[in-house]
Amino acid sequence: MLASKPDVIAVLRQYNPWWGGGRFPDLPDWRRAAFREITAWAKAPPGGRALLLSGARQVGKTTLFLQVIDDLLSQGASPNNILYVTFDHPLLKLLGLDGLVQLWRELEPAREGPEYLFLDEIQVAKDWQTWLKHQVDFEKRRRIAVTGSATPLVTEGQESGVGRWQTIRLATLSFYEYLQLKKLQVPSLAPVGSLRELFDWSPTEFASMSADARPLTGLFHEYLLRGGFPQSALVDSIPLAQKLLREDIVDKVLKRDMTALFGVRRVLELEQVFLYLCLHDGGLLEMPTLCSALEAKRPTVSSYIDLLEATHLIHRLRPFGYGKQVLRGRVKIYLADAAIGPGVLLKGKALLEDAEGLSRAVETAFFKHVFTRYYAQSVGFSYWRGKNDREVDIIADVEGDLVPFEVKYRSSAHTGLSDLKGMIEFCDEHKIQRGYVVTQELSDFRIQAAPGLRVATRLLNIPASLACYWLGRSEIESARRDES
C-alpha cells in the first residue's frame, strides 16, 4: 500500500465519527422523498438486494446517506456496524474494497445485528461489480448502499448485477424542495395529490387559488435561475450560483469524469456538443447540423450524447409511436436542470427578459418534475409530432392511458384552443378526454372544453409555478404515505 496505515485510518475515522461517539455536524433537518425510500431499504432490503442511488454530481446523494446513517444511529444501530466512505478520496481508492472492509473490521469489531456499508462513487473502485455481486450473494448480514454519478454503474455490471440491487434515481431539487431547503415563506396552499383532481374544481376554486399563489411566480423564476442543485440553490448571489453550476458540476463531469471513467480524449469536441444542447434545450436534436458544425462523424457525436445521458446531464425523449416511428424519429433533448443552460451560457437574470429562452427553461423544469414524480411507476414518456409540424411537448403513457402536456409559457392571449392545434389533433386522433396546458399567468388557471372532437375533451390550463409546486409536494407526501 502506497500510503501508511495510520494515514488511511485517520481518513476512515474522519468519515465515520460515530465510531468515537460523534455525529456529522450541520446535517439539514429537512429530508427529500428519497430519504424514506432509503430508510425503508435499510430496514428490509427487498430480496436482500444492494441499493444503488444514482444521480448527477452535487445533487445531494452524500447528504442523503449521512442523514440515513444518523437515523440508523438514532434507532439504535451499533456504530461499529456502520461504514461510510467515498472513493473520491485517493487513499481509499488505492486501498480497494476488500482492503477497506478488512481494515474496518480490524478497527471496529463487528457487533450483533446488520452491517451497513455506504459507499460513495463506487464506480471508480476497481472490480466493484464482482465484489458487490459476491457480497450480495454470500454476506447476507451486510446491507450495502452505493452511489454513482454515471449510468455505467449499472450497464457495465449488468450481467453480474441483475436482480442484485434496487435503484433509486435522484433528480435535482423540485421547486417544492427548493422552497423547503431555502426556508422561504410561501402561502399556505391546499395540497393536490394528483393534477387530475383539478378537473373537479369549480371556477371559484381556480380564482381563489390564483390569488393565493401570487408569491410563487417570482420564487419560481429564481428557482429557474439558481437551479435544483442544493449547493447552488443555497447561494445568495445568482451569478455565483450559476458559476458553481458551471465549475463544480458541468466542468467536473466534462473534464474529469468523462476522461477518468470513459477515456474521452477529445474533451473540447464533447464540450461543443454540450454547448449545442444548452443552446437547444427542449428542442429536437438535429444530428446532421451538429455533425456538420463539429466536422465530426455521426457515431462519434452519438457516443457523446450517450455519455452525457449516462452522467445524468441530459434526458432524451423519443417520439411517440411504435417500431420505425421511434427508431427513425429525432430525439428531443432536455437538460437535467433548467438552470444548466442559462448558467453555461452566462445569461443570468437576462433569461427572464428572453421570452423564448424562459419558455424553454420552464418546459425543461416541468419535464423534470413530471418525470421524477412518476418514473418509479414505469410511466413511459415521449413527444408527438404530427402533420404540418404540429407537436405536443410531452406524452405520458400510464398503462396505456395517454396523458398529453403542452407548455405554453406566455400570456393568456396565446393559450386558447386556436393556439393548441397540436394538442387538439392528438387528443382527437387518440380519443383522449384530458390534457394539460402549462401556462405562465396565474389568472390563466382554468378548464377549457374542446368541441367537435370524437370524444368530449377538456384541457386544464395550469400555471407552471403551481404545477411544479404540486408535483414536487405530492412526491414528498406520497413517500410519507408509503412509509406509514
Whether the CB-CB separation of 470 and 198 falls below 8 Å is answered with no
Percent of the chain with pLDDT over 70: 94
pLDDT in tens, 171-194: 999 999 999 999 888 888 988 989
More confident residue, 447 or 188: 447
pLDDT at 339: 95
More confident residue, 202 or 348: 202
Is the confidence at residue 278, as pLDDT, over 70?
A: yes
pLDDT at 159: 45
pLDDT at 414: 86
- CA dist., res. 316 & res. 310, Å (int): 11
Whether the CB-CB separation of 424 and 388 falls below 8 Å is answered with no
More confident residue, 157 or 192: 192
Is the confidence at residue 158, as pLDDT, over 80?
A: no
pLDDT in tens, 398-436: 888 999 999 999 888 889 999 999 999 999 999 999 999
Percent of the chain with pLDDT over 90: 65
CB neighbours (10 Å) of residue 239?
13
More confident residue, 304 or 327: 304
Q: Determine the average pLDDT of the residues in 358-387.
A: 91
pLDDT at 230: 92
Kind of pairing between the strands at 50-54 and 165-169: parallel
List, in order of start, the domains of the chain with CATH numbers. 5-170 (3.40.50.300), 176-478 (no CATH)
pTM over 0.95: no
Q: Determine the average pLDDT of the residues in 438-467.
A: 95
* Structure-derived torsion over alpha carbons of residues 58, 61, 65, 67, reported in degrees to the nearest 10: 70
Whether the CB-CB separation of 174 and 228 falls below 8 Å is answered with yes
pLDDT at 208: 96
Least confident span in 197-201, 321-325, 443-447: 321-325
pLDDT at 470: 96
Residue 118's DSSP bridge partners are 84, 145
pLDDT in tens, 24-80: 888 888 889 899 999 999 998 888 789 999 898 889 999 999 999 999 999 999 999
- CA dist., res. 342 & res. 359, Å (int): 12
Least confident span in 14-23, 92-101, 207-216, 455-464: 92-101
Q: Determine the average pLDDT of the residues in 295-323.
A: 91
User: Which grid cell sits at 23?
Assistant: 455525529
Residues 6+ apart with CB under 8 A from 433: 455, 456, 457, 458
pLDDT at 163: 60
Residues 6+ apart with CB under 8 A from 306: none
pLDDT at 481: 54
